[in-house]
A = this chain, B = another copy of it.
Amino acid sequence: MKMFFVLVAGFAAATALAGDGFSVAYPEGYRDWRHVKSMELKPGHPLYESFGGLHHIYANSKAVKGYKSGKFQDGAMIVFDLLEAKNEENALVEGKRKVLGVMARDAKRYPETGGWGFEGFAGGDPAKPVVGKNAVKVCFECHASQRGNNYLFSSLRD
């Protein structure tokens, strides 16, 4: 997985990340995963500055099992796909991708962040990871509040 990522990205920042024990691969094919739920953070929301816009949550099959069982196995991956929320003629329409967030379950590899690896890709670009070694500060400090829900803010709905 790591090698695939490096080969595809072929990018200075990416190669620097490989082997650091923190990097999370770009979630290839996530648009075919299960759409879990969606939400728009609007102006005035505490997280608007970072995550304002319309986001969709996607889960791979292992993550779907995790949502259902309450226990996430290694390999479970969850995507936070944040798009601009544009207002057009009294409708909210999707704009450009702002960031693609990923949580990848690997209990042994990510002990400091609840067994989840975190990464974000600016604009959804696999060559632009923005979290790297800063996952504790930029991701987990907030997700830690969700310890009782496997560190997730989302849950599966019908």
Contact = CB atoms under 8 A, between A and B. Distances in A.
Interface of A: 31-32, 34-35, 37-45, 48, 54, 56, 58, 89-94, 97, 124, 157-158
Which one of A40, A44, A94 has the highest number of Cβ atoms from chain B below 10 Å of its Cβ?
Answer: A40
Contacts of A41: 90-91
B158 A40 contact: no
13 contacts: A32-B34, A35-B35, A38-B38, A38-B94, A39-B91, A41-B90, A43-B90, A44-B90, A45-B91, A54-B92, A94-B157, A97-B158, A124-B158
B158 A31 contact: yes
Nearest to A48: B90
A148 B120 CA distance: 38
A39 B90 CA distance: 11
B35 A56 contact: yes
A133 to B, nearest CB: 29
A39 B85 CA distance: 9
B54 A38 contact: yes
Contacts of A45: 89-91
Q: Which 3 A-B pairs have the closest CB atoms?
A: A35-B35, A44-B90, A40-B92
A31 B158 CA distance: 8
A5 B93 CA distance: 26
A45 B93 CA distance: 12
Of the listed residues A37, A92, A93, the one surrounded by the most CB atoms of chain B closer than 10 A to its CB is A92
Given A45-B89, A89-B45, A94 B37 contact: yes
